[in-house]
Structure 1
Amino acid sequence: MRPEDNSLNHFTSSGGQSIFRGDRLPAELQGDFFTPEPVGRLIRRAKVINQNGKVSLQNAYHQKEFIASSDMNFRPVNTATGPDGLLYIVDMYHGIIQESEWTKEGSYIRPQILARRLDKNNGLGRIYRVVHDDFKPDFQKPQLLNAPSRTLVSYLNYPNGWWRDNAQKLLIVRGDKSIVPALKEMPVKQPSFWQKLFSRPAKTEHLTKIHALWTLEGLEAIDKNTLFQAFKDENAQVRKTAVWISEKFLKQNDSETLQQLQTLQNDPNPEVKIQLALSLRALPDNLGNLLVQEIISKNPTIPLLAESEKSRFKTAEAIARRKEEFHKLTPLDRALLTKESVIFQQVCVACYGQDGKGIALGSNDMVAPPLSRLKRINGDKATVIRILLNGLSGPVEGKTYPDVMPAMGHNDDEWIAAVLSYVRNDMYNKAPIIRPEEVKEIRAQTANRQKYWTLDDLEASAK
């Protein structure tokens, strides 16, 4: 919290993110990133900043939000562009947003919930439509399911991205190859073609080309000549898309495609070069890696190229190490770790990150202590079992974190054992597997404990 007014100083969670791609709100909103924060009862609008191929987000307002509500039941959970070209917001409209571990009897928040009768508000919901006085909604009702494929092709040029996306989806689901010739014409035609085909100026010409290329790819009808023409398109996003799709031919070690791609090594756009480096890795031999290194060396002003290669190398190294360690385990232990790898992705990644090094809050602060190479994680089994069963609060190694480690004791012994065994055998940790029966023993010893552990408590219990 901010000490001056107790407002949130960082997001606790977010969901339902979307890029607004409609055409019935001011142009300055098009391409902006919207994400709800249901705990803070707000919606962030962020500008998408592209600096030399590296994309980041920046709040569109200074110390303000697109929407912030004082209604304690406002719980926005989703955003979307609608068929009428406007922005839609789904509000779960729920009194309680926290998990039961945070709101149980004896917690600080429970009396606040009861006093405000927030526990009584459930089973409701709202959908908001964001409008603007200077724009009228698009009143054309979608009839895409009944539209002929040729009509769907024309919607690939619609100014509202909702229509383009759904037209592309239906064309691919139908598998109608009769429209392939028309699709192949799109990436190579000039503006006059779009005026004639759609009876209106092509404001979204480059987007239409991108949709056409991906629709051809989805129909398994993309050919090299169409891609080669797209490599030369005046729009960098079209060139980038064509490079991406060309991976189909690179995986077949197609020399003609590789030769054409190499002409893009001097492309003026950083995003095209970054995509080229990513796609060349699809080559089945080491040639791709050599070409990527060549691109990196020639482009020191595009740091994302080197960063991406470094990340790829670390990932490959980690996968190889995990495989080696995995094969040393017994079948029972393999099953245990496999189960937790799924649990970790679902439950733990948001606070600790994929590598266990923690998630930054946008400053030097971290959401939670790191797990990677942590002495406590690799140490006494009983200590880590106690922490997961009953949670942990207070400073860790002298540092205070925004939230406590919630208790997970409502899960069964196998779940607890799987989580701890995975963490103790990944993220550069190496410690003995924890068995469900060991969890059962500690659970029995701490059955009457109702509060979180602190490090002082844990040290005392270990004596």
Structure 2
Amino acid sequence: MTRIHYLFITTLSLAFLACNQGHQQQTENKHEKDSLAMREKFAASPVLDAKAAIGQMQFDKGLEVQLVAAEPMVVAPVSMTFDERGRMWVVEMTGFMPDTAGTGEDKPDGKIVILEDTNRDGVMDKRTVFLDSLILPRALCLIENGVLVATPPQLWFIENNGDKPGKKTLVDDQYAAGGNVEHQPNGLLRAMDNWIYNAKSDRRYRKVGDKWLKESTHFRGQWGITQDDQGRLYYNNNSENLLGDYFSPGLGGTNPLQQNAAGFDQKIVPDNRTYPLRATPGVNRGYQKGTLDDSLRLVNFTAACGPVIYRGQLLPATYAGNAFVAEPSANLIKRNILSDSSYVVKGVQAYQQKEFLASTDERFRPVDLRTGPDGALYIADMYRGILQHKTYLTEYLKNEIKMRNLTLPLNCGRIYRIVPAGSHPAPVAFEPTAANLLAKLGDANGTLRDKAQQLIIDQHLTTMAPDLRSMLKDAAAPLKQLHALWTLEGLHQLTIEDINSIWQQGPPALKMQALAAWPSIVNSSNIKTAVAALDTLADNPYLAPAVAYVLPAVSKFDKSAATRLEDKMIKAYAPNRYVAAALVNNAAKREAALLKQVIAWNPDTTLVLRRQLEAVLKNADNQANAQKMEALRKALPQGYKIFNTVCQTCHGKRGEGIASMAPPLNESNWVNGNKKAFISIVLYGLTGPVEVHGKMYKAPEINGDMPGIGASDEFSDADIAQLLTFLRSAWNNKADKVSAADIQQVRKANNGRQKPFTAGELAN
């Protein structure tokens, strides 16, 4: 190389470096300039009256946001539903986070209220307090002559005597035991299959006569739950747009060792991008790179909740079947468009770079969405500043709250409805006649169809069975058929003849529903007829998962038939992940024997059924640690308490991890490994991919960020030390203790740190 060439190349390199540094500096300056501009523009968050708040909203053209109720008519609404008179029942969680320390959170000031529009102008003008003196109530469900009310940790059924509370029946004293306000069961969705399902829960409930049934089901979601026209459930967690099921909710969920059954808890809409209208620095980890963009807007969901499948007819037809999701941290509501392919449901965001509804008002906090009896889309807005619970509140967010005076007021709340512009739909009430209820089973509004089904069942109108059977045969009206099927089931009038008729002549989707309903009517006298039909249905790949899921019901009355059918399905569908999951569900307490049988038939180590069985057997180790865990609970009570209220909500009660949320704690290299690294994670949090058990976990498979609890005023260093000692001793973990001095040492070494660690930082 000549000297001239060398100087030329050197000059070019220096010029490129200078240009690159200049570009980087311009990018950093632009980020700082954009951030400062947005800070200045949204430096204050004034309290607006409801009409002014509507003026801060942008929404789809051709629609209109109308005020339904505002303070003092309603305060801090978190959940709502409608009765047969068109009245709205609302849960008011007025005690949520009175300040950044949660002072007075245990004060009994929550309420269940009834709102009524007496002059039928679309605005609620009458408020009746049905129940008061509740501590952080979270959900309700209307059924028969009363209402289910969730007030942690209990679930109560309270009779309604003229809009006054009557006899109380304790349905479940452990309904919301453990966890915290953000991570306790809620929802109480009365689904098409006549069971009541919950978010953040693996339990379902049903009233039969004077008795309440409680059964295991699949674990679902975090806050809010909804269903589509097929009765499939949808939900989410704070960082996931929309999750859901491909199959009827009553199928499966009975093998306690099975986690993540294929076809349930699926990522329906994997795109978690958000497009706020305003700067949103007031999110818990707003200081963290990637949480906010250059204009300080939230990049991805961080408080997704209150989903609803719009099943009304009032909005334009293009909205029917869409999934709407609330994001109160970003003051917006997301719209997603869903589509079916076989039984698989997938979805995409309706728009890019915009939202269905977004507001520049930081206090707009949509937390629950509903399709109303009038067909409007209803929004419950807590309308308050503090949204994050104290357990996870960072110093950064405390400062944001202070800067914009977001603590007060605490006495606001709004309910809106979205309608076509210029329309004013009146409240819809039910005429309690059999003819009207039957007609409503075919209404275009799914909310009215659901209510008609529920009222027929609640009133025990068994005389309607013949009409329902006629409706069941109406192939021209598939939605009528679905509701007729499940209404008969709810009345205990469904027969094997009804089911057989569908299995022989019905469309595939209805056959799937009939399979889900069949276990409720199977008995020793009709099992043989059913087995012959199931054998034929099992040949259809579309129906095969549901057939496999009803095998436990077959086994209850004919074990040999169940064994034959199981063997047939293993050989036909062992590579099918959905059928395999159903077969694993059927193999409760005999997984090892079934695995041996599968290997003898086909030793392929990659076989889907084999791998699912092996995963379940690994989970069995957790069950063997019950005595050890009880001893730890007694020895380390504070550690157990914090685990139960904070950690298990994302990592699972047995430390096995929860899909879409967090990786396992049991046998984790992080829990059992370097003490300082583990302390650092718990104090400051962890962000990004993390390797556990040799497997790399990253978003969206799990929540990309684990919040730390080091800034919480709830826990002392001694408390945190006991938690870590508990975790390092729990299940199969075997690591040394952690002391308060260890905690203090890590705090000192990281003095002033707010942002979470990455796995790479801790590995060094």
User: C-alpha distance in 2, partners of 1:340/1:173?
Assistant: 45
Give runs of aligned pairs for residues 316-327 of structure 1, distance below 5 A: 316-318=616-618, 320-326=620-626
Gap runs ≥5 in structure 2:
1-290, 585-608, 699-703, 758-764
Give runs of aligned pairs for residues 78-227 of structure 1, distance below 5 A: 78-100=368-390, 103=393, 107-133=395-421, 136=423, 139=426, 141-143=428-430, 147-189=432-474, 191=476, 205-227=477-499
Structure 1 position 79, deviation (Å): 0.5
Deviation per residue, 1:301-345 (Å, 9 max, x gap): 965434665486367435533333325x37534778999999868
Residue 265 of structure 1 pairs with residue 555 of structure 2: no
User: C-alpha distance in 1, partners of 2:641/2:496?
Assistant: 39
Amino acid at match of 2:490: G
User: C-alpha distance in 2, partners of 1:304/1:159?
Assistant: 32
Give runs of aligned pairs for residues 32-431 of structure 1, distance below 5 A: 32-100=322-390, 103=393, 107-133=395-421, 136=423, 139=426, 141-143=428-430, 147-189=432-474, 191=476, 205-249=477-521, 254-267=527-540, 270=542, 272-284=543-555, 285=559, 288=562, 291=565, 294-295=568-569, 298=572, 304-306=578-580, 310=609, 313=613, 316-318=616-618, 320-326=620-626, 329=628, 331-333=630-632, 347-348=646-647, 351-352=650-651, 356=656, 371=665, 373-379=667-673, 384=678, 388=682, 390-392=683-685, 402=705, 404-407=707-710, 410-411=714-715, 421=726, 425-426=730-731, 429-431=732-734
Residue 364 of structure 1 is matched in structure 2 by none
Residue 199 of structure 1 is matched in structure 2 by none
Amino acid at match of 2:447: W
Deviation per residue, 1:26-78 (Å, 9 max, x gap): 11211111110111222111122323422233212124321222211111101
Considering fraction of residues, name the structure with more strand. 2
Amino acid at match of 1:277: A
User: C-alpha distance in 2, partners of 1:102/1:261?
Assistant: 50
Deviation per residue, 1:269-296 (Å, 9 max, x gap): x3x3332232234332375466356446
Instruction: Indicate if the aligned counterparts of 1:41 and 1:74 stay in contact, CA closer than 8 A.
Output: yes
SS at match of 2:469: helix
- CA change 1:375–1:62 in 2 (3 A) is same
Structure 1 position 387, deviation (Å): 5.4
Instruction: Indicate if the aligned counterparts of 1:11 and 1:37 stay in contact, CA closer than 8 A.
Output: yes
Structure 1 position 261, deviation (Å): 2.3
Structure 1 position 234, deviation (Å): 4.3
Q: Which moved more, 1:370-379 or 1:21-30?
A: 370-379
Residue 11 of structure 2 is matched in structure 1 by none
Instruction: Indicate if the aligned counterparts of 2:531 and 2:554 stay in contact, CA closer than 8 A.
Output: no
- CA change 1:154–1:97 in 2 (3 A) is same
User: C-alpha distance in 2, partners of 1:72/1:453?
Assistant: 23
User: C-alpha distance in 2, partners of 1:300/1:98?
Assistant: 45
Instruction: Indicate if the aligned counterparts of 1:74 and 1:92 stay in contact, CA closer than 8 A.
Output: yes
Considering fraction of residues, name the structure with more helix. 1
User: C-alpha distance in 2, partners of 1:303/1:126?
Assistant: 45
Structure 1 position 21, deviation (Å): 0.6
Instruction: Indicate if the aligned counterparts of 2:374 and 2:426 stay in contact, CA closer than 8 A.
Output: yes
User: C-alpha distance in 1, partners of 2:562/2:665?
Assistant: 35
- CA change 1:375–1:251 in 2 (3 A) is farther
SS at match of 1:246: helix
Structure 1 position 384, deviation (Å): 4.9
SS at match of 2:709: coil
User: C-alpha distance in 2, partners of 1:350/1:331?
Assistant: 19
RMSD after superposition: 4.4
Amino acid at match of 2:550: S
Instruction: Indicate if the aligned counterparts of 2:685 and 2:705 stay in contact, CA closer than 8 A.
Output: no
Structure 1 position 226, deviation (Å): 0.6
User: C-alpha distance in 1, partners of 2:331/2:563?
Assistant: 47
Residue 72 of structure 2 is matched in structure 1 by none
Instruction: Indicate if the aligned counterparts of 1:84 and 1:137 stay in contact, CA closer than 8 A.
Output: no
Matched residues, percent identical? 26
**What is the TM-score of this pair, normalised by structure 1?**
0.74
Residue 213 of structure 2 is matched in structure 1 by none
SS at match of 2:352: coil
Aligned residues: 423
Structure 1 position 186, deviation (Å): 1.9
Instruction: Indicate if the aligned counterparts of 1:50 and 1:56 stay in contact, CA closer than 8 A.
Output: yes
Q: Which moved more, 1:54-63 or 1:34-43?
A: 54-63
User: C-alpha distance in 2, partners of 1:190/1:52?
Assistant: 19
Gap runs ≥5 in structure 1:
192-204, 361-366, 457-463
- CA change 1:225–1:440 in 2 (3 A) is farther
User: C-alpha distance in 1, partners of 2:560/2:725?
Assistant: 38
Q: Which moved more, 1:10-19 or 1:440-449?
A: 440-449
Q: Higher relative contact order at CA 8 Å, sep ≥6: structure 1 or structure 2?
A: 2
